[in-house]
Amino acid sequence: MKLIEKGFVCLAVVALAMRAEAGEPGQHREEALSPEQFNKAHKSLFTPKKSQAGALTERLLKDHSVPRQEPASPVRRRTLVDDFIFGKMQRDGIPHAPLSSDTEFLRRATLGLTGRLPTPQAVRDFVSDEDSDKRGKLIEKLIDSEAWVDKWAYFFMDLFRANGKMGRGRYLFHYWIKENLRSDRPYTDVVQQIITASAKSNHVVAAANLIAREHVQGAPYPQDGDDLSMVHQLDTHDELSIIYYKAFLGMNLSCISCHGGDGHLEKVNVWLSNKSREQFFRNASFLGHTRYLMYWENGKPQSGEFLIDDHNPGYDTKSQSMIRVARLGGSNEPAFLLTNESPSPEEEPRDALARMLTSHPQFPRATVNMFWAKLMEIGIVDPYDEFDLARQDPDNLPNGWQLQPSHPKLLDALARDFVESGYRLKHLMKTICRSSAYQLSARFPGEWKESYTKYFARKFSRRLTAEELHDSIVLATERPAEFEQAGKRYGLALQLAGPAGDRDTKHFMRIFGQSDRQTPAKVAAGSMQHPLVLMQSPVVNQRVLAEQGSRVRRLLDNYPEDDARVVEEMYLASLSRWPSEREKEIAIGALAKDRVNGAQDLQWALINSVEFFFNY
């Protein structure tokens, strides 16, 4: 059938786009590393392949059915974001895309903020609404929704790699994160509570579960009634130091946890090249008194349950490690890596670390940059967790180096605004999404140049996450999943605390990049498996059938004499737009030949289209 043939064409385009996103395969590495190869290996930790967001977006939309906009006219500057974004483009003579259409914006914002597709009625209502501030009101509504809480709780669970190492505490941690998001609790409070948490059991105190997650196991079984070796205390201090800096300060301390930066990181990160392993030890020493005891019974460890207190003697800088080279000595006096500040005599070291970290200017800068990257697809500093603090000031750059942030004044302004808001994440997201910069079309009317990418001259496309793709299929077909987690049932993946589902669902999610939360998250690469799985997976094929409870069945029953309405509803449900005249003609022709099979094929083809697979 023509629709099926069209679907295969769409899938081929997806495969090409995925190849563009994935880049070239890695090169074979020799057994012995030369100095150049050593530097290259370290560089890959800090500077992954340059973002292809602009090129990918251009390739996807050049001949695509996203409504083409007229050439851009000056846009209204709505938030502080726009003064910096459009001001820089104006000064440098860079053209930008026009504002997105209503349907493009509605789909982008709804998927971007909640991970869900808008309903057909939501599309109709939004397009017909004549309120000049309807986009701003939509953003308010989305950010105040439970769907927003679900999506961003899942994001934080991925960020902290919340998995079975937490035991049952994982579900408590998920609940706690959702409560913090729902109430818009100041982000400083959340971070401070995570760093300072103590508990008789992490299954009772939610904030203690990040500590439980990062524990490094020493011995497999207890040797006596007061044995500390089941958790390697010092390695756990190190792992927590790394995750705190990466998640909360946007900095990667992995290299200097093993060796000094001098002689290794000069071509990678100027600021870290001047830091020693002893300085890393002194930063980890804030946790030196923290003790981690794994619960055990009848000589066997209890899954993911820990006691956490502050009764350890301190950080031993001359000791063995399970996962790094041995510690060879040095000072264990706590000193914050960014300022060299030590705790006051009356302060508990972990309390001091929490205070220093959340009061340092890098904390709000890293936070706003992380959420900017998640909403705009590229960070102002990109990647968002690889800041080089030596390259932030345009008036004080190291010789031979470029400024790291694309818009340093915007980064500082967003950070100040975030602080003034009381560290409220909802305020931050509203500031970004209400801007005209966020509302630009992904379509670019003229010749696109890769040099425009750093200006944010268009809205960039991104592939849906595994969870978003799964939930979009569920919502487009009205066939909910049957997840069960912690004794409760759920219909959407983003409602969960983590990966779950039957064999077919788990396979589908794994192929599309769902995090296993074992290793640090990587940028999702494309795969030729993606179009094949979309064509063949029961996650798709069982849901497009005209069975009781499906959208296809409901539309066929509700509009027995109106094939045009069936086609329109399916386009609105899947792509959040009306079909073009040509698309409508093809689809109605298919339904005229065989109404049930034609409708099923149409649903299948829409899910397998490039447009469905990306948020633009």
Please write the tens of the pLDDT for every residue from 462-479: 999 999 999 999 999 999
Is the confidence at residue 512, as pLDDT, over 80? yes
- Of all residues in the chain, the percent with pLDDT exceeding 70 is 88
For 44, half-sphere exposure in the C-beta direction (CA atoms, 13 angstrom radius) is 9
Q: Are strands 291-297 and 300-309 parallel, antiparallel or unpaired?
A: antiparallel
DSSP, residue by residue, 240-271: HHHHHHHHHH----TGGGTS-STTTSTTT-HH
* Alpha carbon distance 238, 280 (integer Å): 8
Contacts of 482-487 with C-beta under 8 Å, sequence gap 24+, read: 485/171, 486/168, 486/171
Mean pLDDT of 333-361: 98
Mean pLDDT of 435-459: 95
Which residue has tokens 């180096």? 401
Least confident of 56-70, 246-260, 296-310, 602-616: 56-70
Per-residue pLDDT tens over the stretch 565-611: 999 999 999 999 999 999 999 999 999 999 999 999 999 999 999 99
Average pLDDT, the chain: 90
What is the 8-class DSSP label of residue 495? G
User: The tokens of 558 are what?
Assistant: 């509700």
- Of 549 and 5, which is predicted with more confidence? 549
Q: List the beta bridge partners of residue 306.
A: 294
> What local confidence, expressed as pLDDT, does residue 221 receive?
82
DSSP, residue by residue, 529-547: HHHHHHHH-HHHHTTSS--
- How deeply is 269 buried, as exposed, middle or buried, from its count of CB atoms within 10 A (0-12, 13-18, 19+)? buried
> What local confidence, expressed as pLDDT, does residue 307 receive?
95
Question: What band does 427 get if pLDDT is binned at 50, 70 and 90?
Answer: very high
Exposure string over 453-480, b if 16+ CB within 10 A, otherwise e: bbbbbbbbbbbbbbbbbbbbbbbbbebe
CA-wise closest residue to 206 among 241, 234, 235, 179: 179
> What local confidence, expressed as pLDDT, does residue 7 receive?
40
Alpha-helical regions (H) of 80-186 = 80-92, 102-114, 120-128, 134-143, 146-159, 169-182
Residue 529 domain-assigned (yes or no): no
Residue 573 domain-assigned (yes or no): no
Mean pLDDT of 524-552: 89
SS3 608: coil
User: The tokens of 218 are what?
Assistant: 């020493």
Per-residue pLDDT tens over the stretch 167-176: 999 999 999 9
Question: What band does 16 get if pLDDT is binned at 50, 70 and 90?
Answer: very low
* Alpha carbon distance 603, 591 (integer Å): 12
Q: Are strands 483-485 and 614-615 parallel, antiparallel or unpaired?
A: unpaired
Question: What band does 319 get if pLDDT is binned at 50, 70 and 90?
Answer: very high
Least confident of 6-20, 132-146, 269-283: 6-20
Residue 530 domain-assigned (yes or no): no
pTM (2 decimals)?
A: 0.90
Per-residue pLDDT tens over the stretch 47-59: 444 457 888 888 8
Per-residue pLDDT tens over the stretch 49-85: 445 788 888 888 875 555 555 555 678 999 999 999 9
Is the confidence at residue 202, as pLDDT, over 80? yes
> What local confidence, expressed as pLDDT, does residue 226 receive?
63
Is the confidence at residue 381, as pLDDT, over 90? yes
Is the confidence at residue 555, as pLDDT, over 90? yes
CB 534 within 8 A of CB 577: no
Is the confidence at residue 347, as pLDDT, over 80? yes
> What local confidence, expressed as pLDDT, does residue 227 receive?
74
* Alpha carbon distance 230, 220 (integer Å): 6
Residue 375 domain-assigned (yes or no): no
Q: List the beta bridge partners of residue 292.
A: 308
Per-residue pLDDT tens over the stretch 395-414: 999 999 999 999 999 999 99
Residue 238 domain-assigned (yes or no): yes
CB 470 within 8 A of CB 111: no
Residue 304 domain-assigned (yes or no): yes
> What local confidence, expressed as pLDDT, does residue 229 receive?
86
Least confident of 399-403, 449-453, 502-506, 516-520: 516-520
- Of all residues in the chain, the percent with pLDDT exceeding 90 is 80
* Alpha carbon distance 611, 129 (integer Å): 25
DSSP, residue by residue, 260-307: -STTTSTTT-HHHHT--HHHHHHHHGGGTT-EEEEEEETTEEEEEEEE
- What total of structural domains would you count in the chain? 1
For 306, half-sphere exposure in the C-beta direction (CA atoms, 13 angstrom radius) is 34
Q: List the beta bridge partners of residue 293.
A: 307
Question: What band does 179 get if pLDDT is binned at 50, 70 and 90?
Answer: very high
The amino acid present at 373, given as its one-letter code, is A
What is the 8-class DSSP label of residue 484? E
User: The tokens of 476 are what?
Assistant: 């487009």
Residue 12 domain-assigned (yes or no): no
Q: Which domain holds residue 281?
A: 186-359
Is the sign of the CA dihedral 470, 527, 105, 605 positive or negative?
Answer: negative
* Alpha carbon distance 516, 534 (integer Å): 21
User: The tokens of 573 are what?
Assistant: 């449900």
SS3 198: coil
Is the confidence at residue 46, as pLDDT, over 50? no
> What local confidence, expressed as pLDDT, does residue 69 receive?
52
Residue 113 domain-assigned (yes or no): no
The phi, psi pair for 302, rounded to 5°, reads -95, 130
Is the confidence at residue 3, as pLDDT, over 50? no
Q: What is the CA radius of gyration of the chain?
A: 26
Print the SS3 string covering 17-39.
Answer: HHHHHHCCCCCCCCCCCCHHHHH
Least confident of 1-15, 328-342, 379-393, 496-510: 1-15
CB atoms within 10 A of CB 243: 20
Mean pLDDT of 273-298: 95
Mean pLDDT of 433-451: 95
CB 408 within 8 A of CB 393: yes
For the chain, the straight-line distance linking the first and the last C-alpha, in angstroms and rounded, comes to 29
CB 463 within 8 A of CB 614: yes
CA-wise closest residue to 301 among 230, 234, 235: 230
Question: What band does 36 get if pLDDT is binned at 50, 70 and 90?
Answer: low
